[in-house]
Chain A
Amino acid sequence: MSPDTANTPDLLPENLISSVTDLKVYFQSKQGMVHSVDGVSFDIVDGEMMGLVGETGCGKSVTARSFMQLIQTPPGVLAGGKIQFKSQKNCRKCEGAKCDFCSNTGKQILDLLSLSENEIRELRGERIAMIFQDPGKALNPGLTIRTQLAEVFQEHRENDVLEKAGLANNLNGINSYLLKKYIRQETNLISKIVLKFPPFRGLLKKVDKAINGLVTKALAETQIPNPNKIMERYPHELSGGMKQRVMIAQAIACNPDLLIADEPTTALDVTVQARVLDLIKDLQKRHKTSVLYISHDLSLVRRICDKVAVMYAGKIVETGDAETIFNDPKHPYTKGLIKALPSMTHERGKLEAIEGMVPELINPKLGCRFASRCKQKKSNCENNDPELKVVSNKDKSHKVSCFLYE
């Protein structure tokens, strides 16, 4: 299965870094097939921050994890769709000279969902990186910060490590073989023992020192004070905000093209939240990283994201610019979300909550998923599925999935 579908060119417009098309991810359960993500489509513009908003259980995390094939396939099932991604490799047909096949980008366009284990591993941590919700849980409690951060460099920047250690060119056969195995974490028991003896030992120390250098540099990037000391600590010795910075440092270590942030500030105190958000935004601007920011907090997303996609019960209900969505929401669910936010301009009194509950996603019936809670329900809302369509021809980027606008 060729990752860039050799015969038919996939059209990924030049300004996009990634595009999700009709993604379907289901889960086997005792009661039936759960349609977690049921036909989701959206685009991520190169260099922009894209927000994916929805309440708990709407499928946003599953969508995010699908990018790097992190869904466990039993019980998960990839039921359809593709996620296109602009890689750094040159297009196969034109070798970077730009052609129709690669939509004039000169680069290979991959379908992330059809890549093999080895192919996706190349991208993970290097071209696409992820930061998780609870840094306390996403960092291995039994390993030091240094060990965990070093892994990214060891996996993807082997040559940089050797160069920094001054060993890039002058290594003979067995030294080169063993050291490379060590860096790539592919040593077996015998090589581990051998590496303890000189002269290997001396070389190993140089390599470790080089790695340490790379690690401290990465930590400093996220404004962590005293990187040398922090490096030797264990996750539980750090505060929540620090841990999240470490996670971020780990993610941007290799300067990825796409950063996926799965509710990175939800588990943090409010004061710390602001600083971490600023950090992410700052890094994004500096390195021109594209970001997919998952959150349930619409007001937060509005602050930092360029574009927003609103998700409900496994489907996208509205997409568009962040400001547009906030000031001129079209879908009743989006309207409800915004009304439920407390703000300075609201009158004092009750907050409006959306009545009803999220529907069961097991073998769902036809019909708009929001229909049971919608105050503007029409007759055919419960019998047919609405599609994501452009709201007006003036602003083609604002799309809604609702019968009110068809």
Chain B
Amino acid sequence: MQIKDYIIRRLLVLPILIIGTSIIVFALTRIGGSPIGIYLSHEMNPAEVQEMKERFHLDKPVPIQYFYWIKGVSQGDLGWSGVASAPVVDVFPKKFAATMELAIAAGIVAVSLGIALGTFAGARRNKLADHIIRVVSVSGASMPLFWFAILLLIIFWVWLGWFPIGRSDPNLFEAIPHPTGFYTIDALLAGNFAAFRDAVWHLIMPAVALGYGATAIIARMMRSSLIEELQEDYVDAAKAKGLAERVVLKKHARRNALIPTVTVIGLTFGFLLQGTVVAEIIFRWPGLGRWMASAVLRGDQATIMTYVMFTSILFLIVNLVVDIIYANLDRRVVLGE
């Protein structure tokens, strides 16, 4: 029963948080004065300027402007992007798909590599492999993404020339239809393996760069929770049954050690999300992050507002889901004591 109350409470608070966030975001944009600048050009005369103002409701008091914005959003109007020279709504889906593909690839790298490294280190505590992995994971948490990405770029693109930058080779990319917007999936669906390989090759560097920090955090958590589990009685009891080390480690200890690791995985989502901004700039990936970066430098407020709102809502939802999963898993272990 307690779990249900917890979930309901979190769900009720969610809209309040979203509204609060929207107020802050909106207030932010109005602090810098009227955003009329991006909609004007030098040729307009005062009458046209006034018309622009009225069109975007910039002649009304700020709270009213807020409601106009909300009204617009509910009708699917997210404003005009100066950077893309198009309505935000039109540009958003394609860039969203690009960023999602990158984030998911990075997530897969982080989770699989992180768990593997963490298990490896935890099972060989204080041996050489453990120390090496610990160094890697400590550095991962302090690693500036922009530096790591540039290092990868220098080594693997400039010097070795193994991987390309950008998202795809335009020739191969144009040859296939794009139902999902995920180049890897689209290529597989079209049965075009050259295009698939091309898409994957473009993904590797940015995904590794983006996922490195998360890998480190996951490995660290996996290692320490595995070490904790290995000290429990049931591990000795399993050994006392005559089971092989491998079985004891994987089937008994690691399975239980994965539970706290799952929360950390949820945490790393925030990392991945924020990292896309920088990663997309450096690897010339045409996603939301790079769009936001340009928007930020050119005062494209519609884009900024949409991006911040979108990432915040996504962030809130993912955190909520992770907390619910953990509450469910945890209960079983807690009741067992």
- Interface positions of A (Cβ within 8 A of B): 65, 68, 70, 74, 117, 121-126, 129-130, 132-134, 136-143, 151-152, 155-156, 185-186, 234-236, 247, 250
Contacts and interface: CB of A to CB of B under 8 A. Distances in A.
B256 A142 contact: yes
Task: Give the bracket for the number of chain B residues in contact with chain A.
Answer: 20 to 34
Interface stretch (B54-62, B94-102, B238-246, B312-320): B238-246
Contacts of A129: 240-241
B237 A130 contact: yes
A155 B241 contact: yes
A126 B241 CA distance: 8
Nearest to B333: A141
Interface string B303-337: 00000000000000000000000000000110111
Contacts of A134: 233
B9 interface: no
Given A142-B332, A234-B336, A185 B237 contact: no
B243 A151 contact: yes
B240 A137 contact: no
Given A141-B234, A142-B332, A155-B243, 17 more contacts: A121-B242, A125-B240, A130-B240, A132-B237, A134-B233, A137-B233, A137-B234, A140-B234, A140-B252, A142-B255, A142-B333, A143-B251, A151-B238, A152-B242, A185-B244, A185-B247, A250-B241
Given A121-B244, A152-B241, A155-B243, A236 B336 contact: yes
B241 A136 contact: no
23 contacts: A65-B236, A68-B239, A70-B236, A121-B243, A124-B239, A124-B241, A125-B243, A129-B241, A130-B237, A138-B234, A138-B236, A139-B237, A140-B234, A142-B256, A142-B259, A142-B332, A151-B241, A151-B247, A152-B241, A186-B244, A236-B335, A236-B337, A250-B241
Given A185-B247, A185-B251, A235-B336, A138 B233 contact: yes
A132 B245 CA distance: 20
Contacts of A123: 242
Contacts of A155: 241-243
A124 B332 CA distance: 29
A236 B233 contact: no
Contacts of A126: 242
A236 B242 contact: no
A142 B236 CA distance: 16
A11 B158 CA distance: 74
* Most central of B237, B239, B244 by chain A CB within 10 Å: B237
* Most central of A65, A133, A139 by chain B CB within 10 Å: A139
B285 to A, nearest CB: 32
A355 B337 CA distance: 35
B307 to A, nearest CB: 40
B126 interface: yes
Contact of A137 (B232, B241, B259, B335): B232
Q: 3 tightest A-B contacts by CB? A: A236-B336, A124-B242, A125-B242
Nearest to B331: A236
B242 A156 contact: yes
Contacts of B333: 141-142, 236
A240 B226 CA distance: 26
Contacts of B232: 137
* Most central of B233, B242, B255 by chain A CB within 10 Å: B242
Nearest to B336: A236
Interface string B236-271: 111111111101000110011001000000000000
A137 B229 CA distance: 11
A124 B232 CA distance: 18
A70 B240 contact: yes
B237 to A, nearest CB: 4
Contact of A185 (B236, B239, B243): B243
Contacts of B126: 74
Nearest to A141: B336
Contacts of B243: 121, 125, 151, 155, 185
A140 B256 contact: yes
* Most central of A125, A139, A140, A186 by chain B CB within 10 Å: A140
A68 B240 contact: yes
